[in-house]
Structure formats: structure tokens, C-alpha cells
Amino acid sequence: MAYTISLRCILAEQRPDSPLAIAVGRDRKGKISLVLYTAAIPLAFVHQAIAHVLYVTVAFIWLVPDRRIEEKVRSRI
């Protein structure tokens, strides 16, 4: 949740057409992560392994770099 809140605060200070806003786009990774983490909490009471799988899934999602942001950073260097 901290990532989502931080990102929203940063984007609120930027123009909608700023390079960061364009690079982030609809923030699918962030939204998927938030949903998986939120689902993992109650599912941990059902079976801990389910929650562990969801946490590991989020970690793997974030291991893959976001190409859109990388392209924007490279184009500004």
C-alpha cells in the first residue's frame, strides 16, 4: 500500500502529461500487487501456503523491470 500511496502523491504533484505519469500509465503492477496482498491476508487463515504463493508471486512480478519507465529514464539521459 505504501507504494501505491507514494505513487499517487507524487503523480498528484505532476502534470497528467508529465514523463513520469506517461511512463507509469495505469500502473498495472501496482494494482495487481495490491490485490494479491489484500487477498493473501484473509487467505492466510484458510491455508498459509496460499498466502505464501501470493507473496512470492508479487515478488516475481516486481523482479521483471518495467520497460516503460526504463525507456523514459534512458531517453532523458
For residues 10-24, average pLDDT = 87
Higher pLDDT pick, 34 / 19:
34
Over range 6-17, report the average pLDDT.
Answer: 91
**pTM of structure:** 0.76
- The domain spans of the chain are 2-76
Per-residue pLDDT at 19 = 81
pLDDT tens figures, 21-73: 888 888 888 999 999 999 999 999 999 999 999 999 999 999 987 777 777 76
Are 42 and 21 contacting, i.e. CB atoms less than 8 angstroms apart?
A: no
DSSP 43-76: HHHH-HHHHHHHHHHHHHHHHS--HHHHHHHHHH
